[in-house]
Amino acid sequence: MMNEDIELKDPVLPLGRPTLGSAGETGDWRTYRPKFIEENCIKCYKCWLSCPEGTIRVDAHGEYPYIDYIYCKGCGICVHVCPGRKKQKALEMIPE
């Protein structure tokens, strides 16, 4: 009787769907947050390339990157790889 409620349009498979934030809002894992300093950014996008999480977002070529703080885990890779302008990094880690 209970089986009538199940729609059999989709095959019954253990099928997952791509979801943003599938592990929750992972931003609460971090103790330090990267802070973006626009005037030191040379738009090399190395931070975008090396971010494991994909939380460095760039809307279009030639635009400044920004950080999605909801999911950023605060590993600090972006700060480490940033070449900056005149040895002044465009990213720095600050305590939460």
Partner 1 sequence: MNVKIPEMMDRPEVLLRGNFACAGCGLSIAYKTSISALNRPIVVIPACCSSVIQSLHPNVAYNVPTLNIAFAAHASAASGIARAKKMRGEDTTTVVWSGDGGTYDIGLSTWSGAAERNENIIHFCYDNNFYSNTGAQRSGATPRGAVTTTTPRGKREKRKSIARIMAAHDIPYIATASIGYLRDLYTKVKKASMIEGYRFILIDAPCPTGWNSDPAITPELGELSVKTGYFPLFEIEEGKLTFSKRGIRYKDPINRLSIEKYLEKQGRFKSMTSEQTKLLTDDLQYEWDMLSKLE
Asked whether the beta carbons of 34 and 77 are under 8 A apart, the reply is no
Using the rule CB under 8 A, is 89 a contact of partner 1?
no
Taking Cα atoms as reference points, which of 72, 40, 71, 67 lies closest to residue 56?
67
Q: Which is nearer to partner 1, 1 or 12 (CB)?
A: 12
Using the rule CB under 8 A, is 92 a contact of partner 1?
no
How many chain residues interact with partner 1 (CB under 8 A)? 39
Closest distance between partner 1 and the C-beta of residue 91, in Å?
A: 11
Radius of gyration in angstroms for the set of CA atoms belonging to the chain, rounded to a whole number: 20
User: What part of residues 20-59 is at the interface with partner 1 (CB under 8 A)?
Assistant: 20-26, 29-30, 44-46, 48-55, 58
Asked whether the beta carbons of 92 and 39 are under 8 A apart, the reply is no
Q: Which is nearer to partner 1, 1 or 8 (CB)?
A: 8
Residue partners of 83: CB distance under 8 A and separation at least 6: 42, 44, 46, 89
Binding site for partner 1 (CB under 8 A): 14-26, 29-30, 44-46, 48-55, 58, 61, 68, 70-71, 73-77, 79-81
